[in-house]
Amino acid sequence: MNELDLIRLLTQNLPTHPAVVVGPGDDCAVLDLGLPDHWLLFKTDAIVEDTHFTRDTPPEDVGHKALARPLSDIAAMAGTPTAALVTAALPATFDPRRVCAVYNGITRLAQRCHVAIAGGETTRTPDRILLSVSVLGTVPRRRCPLRSAAQPGDAIFVSGDLGGSLAGKHLRFEPRLSEARWLAEHFPIHAMIDLSDGIATDLPHVLDASHVGAELLKSAIPVSRAARTRARTRQSPKAALLAALTDGEDFELLFTLPPRHAVSLFDRWTRQFPGLRLSCIGKITAQPGLTLRDASGLQPLAAHGYVHFDKP
């Protein structure tokens, strides 16, 4: 049984509450606790040694990543984080200097994003370090772009460059909080998600939730320099484009918008975020399924990547 099957099983018939606006299945849970203008966002995320980082990862980067991941989910809802709780499960042999350096990484990012570290705990684990971070945030009522809101005809955009994040970005990415808030304030964004597992895995979450399909344009995918270098130097067995479509942990934003806003969006984005590329990579279709268009026509895109790229 894989993780998705397990989650599908576990999230059947979960108890709910009148305050829950959006439960399991989006980037964050959304709660209405009666704040006049805001909903609450609630998210948790864990990273584990030897899965998300190694013994050799600089500890500040470990802390940064532990907080940046759930903040990226708050960004995907166009929200503002308020407070975080940090659980550190530590082996009995932990090095206090290393643990303090991990917390420095958390603290530095929290300060930059104006998030309180409001508590948490340490617990013993016999083996590897695990960090679990929960974040509470707010979003203006009804201004929260859900995965389920994509509509046929929408243009699909991504921020930044994709692929090859193992070269370093997976430890040092900045959650796109201000970009996402700016987008939701100035444009009628339909759906939004953060790219944690790659377009080929994450875009289908939007398509399934919205009951639509998508057609991507191969030449429009913003392939990162890291993905190109890793492909050229054989650090990765994947072609650069395949890496851009399937590598995880880019933590860029993917969102959909009625196409009539595209020109204005590019124009204002370039002035607002001159250092960050924005790409229109395709469109939402009424026909379900995810396809990639290149010179030879349309090909289905599977979660593990474009079939053609998998062949030598």
Interacting residue ranges for a second copy, rule: CB under 8 A: 1, 3, 6-7, 9-10, 13-17, 19-20, 23-26, 28-29, 31, 33-36, 38, 40, 42-48, 50-51, 82-83, 85, 87-89, 96, 99-100, 103, 107, 110-111, 114-128, 130, 132, 134, 136, 138
Q: Which is nearer to a second copy, 43 or 169 (CB)?
A: 43
Taking the C-alpha atoms of residue 240 and residue 140, their distance in angstroms, rounded to an integer, is 38
Q: Which is nearer to a second copy, 116 or 298 (CB)?
A: 116
Please report where in the chains the tokens 């049984």 appear, as a residue: 1
> Nearest approach, Cβ of 226 to a second copy (angstroms)?
24
Cβ 56 to a second copy, closest distance in Å?
A: 17
The answer to whether the beta carbons of residues 118 and 110 sit under 8 Å apart is no
Minimum CB separation from a second copy for residue 95, in Å?
A: 10
Q: Which is nearer to a second copy, 33 or 263 (CB)?
A: 33
Instruction: In angstroms, give the least distance from the CB of 232 to a second copy.
Output: 31
The answer to whether 170 and 109 have CB atoms below 8 angstroms apart is no
Q: Which of 126, 303, 147 is nearest to 210 (CA)?
A: 147
Cα torsion 207, 208, 212, 214 to 10°: value is 30
| Sequence-ordered list of residues with C-beta below 8 angstroms from that of 290, at least 6 positions apart, any chain | 200, 203, 204, 207, 213, 214, 216, 300, 301
CB-based contact 194:73 (threshold 8 Å): yes
Would you say 26 or 194 has its CB closer to a second copy? Answer: 26
Q: Which is nearer to a second copy, 110 or 265 (CB)?
A: 110
How near is the Cβ of 236 to a second copy at its closest, in Å?
Answer: 21
